[in-house]
Amino acid sequence: MESPSSPIKKRKKILSITDPHLTTTRITELQTSQSISFANSVWIDRSFSLNPSYKRILESSYNAKAKEVDFSNKADQVINEVNSWVKNETKGLIKNLLPPGSLYDDTVLLFARYTAKDNRIKNSIKHIQET
């Protein structure tokens, strides 16, 4: 019979957590020799609005702030804001995630996420444009 502190029991306990942010936070707490960091952010064009319940899920489950921006008239300013966020969250390891001209006036939603393990940054970004 396995003891309650066996690795298998611990693994089952971690996998049973349904909240993604709590899961990643718990994984980070369990790490002793390695460092794992997560950050999420959402930028939405000011002409649209997020469903309030979706916004609450972003904030509570993913620790992501939804920011209203003006993609149509201030795309360059949004690029600077996103790049500043990424630079801050990655402690300067990623300085320019979005190159100049990478956002368009018909962009309506931008998701940004980064995961860092031992200072090796993995990042992904997704543009969803109005069709």
**Could you tell me if 17 and 76 lie in one domain?**
no
Residue 7: the pLDDT is 46
List of the chain residues with pLDDT < 70: 1-37, 116-131
* 101: CATH: 3.30.497.10
Range of the domain at 10: 1-30
In sequence order, the β-bridge partners of residue 36 are 117
**Could you tell me if 23 and 43 lie in one domain?**
no
Q: Write down the pTM of the prediction.
A: 0.63
Residue 49: the pLDDT is 87
**Could you tell me if 43 and 26 lie in one domain?**
no
**Could you tell me if 18 and 47 lie in one domain?**
no
User: How do residues 109-121 score in pLDDT, each as one tens digit?
Assistant: 888 887 766 544 4
Residue 44: the pLDDT is 92
**Could you tell me if 47 and 25 lie in one domain?**
no
Judged on CB neighbours under 10 Å (0-12, 13-18, 19+), 115 is middle
**Could you tell me if 22 and 55 lie in one domain?**
no
Residue 122: the pLDDT is 47
**Contact partners, residue 30, CB within 8 Å, separation at least 6:** 10, 14
